[in-house]
């Protein structure tokens, strides 16, 4: 019994280590365009990353944590020893990349490590799940690159006023946010609820104009955001754009916390259910705390790397990078698909940065991007192999196996 408790304790420490690493690595990328556009300082950006991503982890991290914990291997339940092998492998590889200034994709690394440990435990491959996740991963750079390029082109076109394009984008993001499912908000069916849903029920809002009450409230909130942004731009265009950029950055950081915490907590989902009997929200809180610490302590270097070395973005191209990153990450959370936020942000930054290249005012580092793509592939394959071997090494230790 004491050996089981010891393994669980090691697994918890490994999860905290992994969430710390995620906070330093993946959650720093979303704030980078705002820093690169000089709308925020690096240190202030790191402070906000820790707080906002930690909140997002607790509010939206459940679905991806469930996939990592239960959906990647078949026929077995992940044990504390397998969870430890997964988390130690992934966190170590990501930390090495972090120390060298190369953002290693957490989702690739954790997914590979979780599969490796699960197979070592005797599980089978969840081929259907892999196909869906891989399809989503392959679509990310294409969808985001095209959207970011198109939005950047729209925002940089001289004939279209900023007082039209920026408020419309703000309103669209506001509508999406009003419908985001949050763990601390109840819904009519007892599941997670949204801001629009809670307000519609609390105010007794009836259906109007042929729209569902929740949709109607979401549209009303979007119009408020649009009007507030338009008013700010009328006062001062530069200040309004910078405030829009910072607000979007925080929204994306919040989303990154929800999409990334599951990479640290997912392997422990079965452990919390069977060995500890604790609710998953407690596990998410542990992950959120680790993300907060990682964001505060280690993220400044990665913020600089993404902001300065991958592309030179101004405020408008940064806004163009944030919007598709936010939408894609929220889609991943709804579907329960683990994603690398480094990949999400870099795809958007590259797409928006290409507009700068055509105008001679910005560019994308092809060499740095190439190294990063190579790291993505190596991290997933290497993570699986190392985790598989590490599990067998730990299982051979007397009292652990």
Q: Mind giving me the DSSP string for 215-266?
A: HHHHHHHHHHHHHHHHHHHHH-HHHHHHHHHHHHHHHHHHHHHHHHHHHHHG
Mind listing the pLDDT tens digit for each residue in 269-326? 877 766 666 777 888 888 899 989 888 887 777 777 766 654 467 788 889 989 999 9
25 inside domain: yes
The predicted-structure confidence for 142-164, as pLDDT tens digits, reads as follows 999 999 999 999 999 888 899 99
- Let me know if residue 401 belongs to a domain: no
Bridge partner list, 193 = 182
- State the Cα–Cα distance between residues 218 and 223, nearest whole angstrom: 9
Alpha carbon distance 283, 399 (integer Å)? 26
**Model pLDDT for residues 339-398, shown as the tens digit of each residue:** 988 778 878 888 888 875 544 444 555 666 666 667 677 888 889 999 999 999 888 877
CA 359 centroid distance within chain: 31
Sign of the dihedral defined by the CA atoms of residues 36, 38, 41, 44, in that order: negative
Q: Which domain holds residue 363?
A: 2-395
Q: Give me the DSSP letters along 295-351.
A: HHHHHHHHHHIIIIIIB---HHHHHHHHHHHHHHHHHHHHHT----HHHHHHHHHHH
Asked if the structure places residue 294 within a domain, the reply is yes
What's the half-sphere exposure (Cβ side, CA atoms, 13 Å) at 211? 12
The pTM of the full predicted model, rounded to 2 decimals, is 0.84
What's the number of domains the chain is made of? 1
Q: What gap in Å lies between CA 173 and CA 322, rounded to an integer? A: 10
**What CA–CA distance (Å, rounded) separates 309 from 223?**
37
User: Do 78 and 39 touch, CB atoms closer than 8 A?
Assistant: no
Helices (H), 100-236: 106-120, 127-156, 162-178, 195-202, 213-235
- Three-state SS at 305: helix
Classified as helix, coil or strand, 184 is: strand
- What pLDDT does residue 42 have? 82
| Whole-number Å distance between alpha carbons of 307 and 320 | 15
Pair 174, 222: CB distance under 8 Å: yes
Sign of CA dihedral 162, 349, 92, 122: positive
203 pLDDT more than 70: no
Contact 89, 383 (CB under 8 A): yes
- Residue 313 domain-assigned? yes
pLDDT, tens only, 21-76: 778 777 777 787 777 767 788 888 888 888 999 999 999 988 898 899 888 999 88
| SS3 call for 74 | strand
């Amino acid at each position: 019994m004491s050996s089981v408790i010891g393994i669980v304790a090691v697994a918890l420490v490994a999860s905290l280590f992994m969430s710390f690493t995620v906070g330093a690595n993946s959650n720093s990328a979303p704030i980078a365009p705002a820093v690169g556009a000089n709308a925020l300082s690096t240190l202030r950006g790191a402070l906000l990353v820790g707080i906002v991503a930690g909140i997002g982890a607790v509010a939206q991290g459940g679905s991806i944590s469930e996939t990592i914990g239960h959906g990647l291997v078949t026929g077995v339940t992940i044990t504390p020893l397998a969870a430890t092998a997964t988390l130690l492998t992934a966190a170590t590889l990501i930390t090495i990349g972090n120390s060298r200034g190369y953002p290693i994709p957490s989702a690739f690394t954790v997914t590979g490590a979780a599969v490796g440990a699960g197979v070592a435990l005797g599980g089978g491959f969840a081929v259907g799940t892999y196909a869906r996740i891989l399809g989503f991963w392959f679509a990310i750079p294409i969808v985001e690159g095209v959207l970011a390029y198109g939005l950047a082109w729209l925002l940089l076109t001289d004939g279209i006023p900023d007082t039209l394009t920026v408020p419309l984008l703000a309103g669209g993001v506001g509508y999406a946010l009003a419908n985001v499912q949050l763990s601390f908000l109840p819904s009519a069916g007892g599941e997670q609820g949204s801001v629009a849903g809670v307000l519609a029920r609390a105010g007794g809002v009836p259906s109007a104009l042929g729209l569902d009450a929740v949709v109607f409230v979401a549209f009303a909130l979007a119009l408020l955001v649009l009007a507030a942004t338009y008013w700010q731009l009328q006062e001062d265009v530069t200040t309004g754009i910078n405030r829009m950029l910072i607000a979007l950055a925080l929204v994306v950081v919040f989303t990154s916390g929800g999409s990334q915490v599951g990479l640290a907590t997912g392997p422990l989902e079965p452990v919390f259910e069977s060995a500890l009997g604790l609710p998953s929200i407690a596990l998410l809180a542990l992950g959120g705390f680790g993300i907060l610490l990682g964001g505060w302590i280690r993220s400044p270097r990665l913020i600089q790397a993404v902001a300065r070395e991958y592309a030179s973005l101004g405020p408008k191209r940064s806004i163009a990078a944030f919007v598709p990153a936010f939408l894609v990450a929220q889609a991943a959370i709804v579907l329960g698909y683990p994603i690398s936020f480094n990949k999400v942000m870099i795809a958007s930054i590259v797409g928006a940065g290409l507009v700068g290249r055509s105008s001679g005012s910005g560019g994308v580092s092809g060499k740095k991007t190439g190294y990063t793509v190579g790291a993505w592939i190596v991290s997933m394959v290497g993570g699986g192999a190392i985790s598989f071997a590490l599990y067998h090494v730990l299982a051979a230790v007397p009292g652990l196996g």
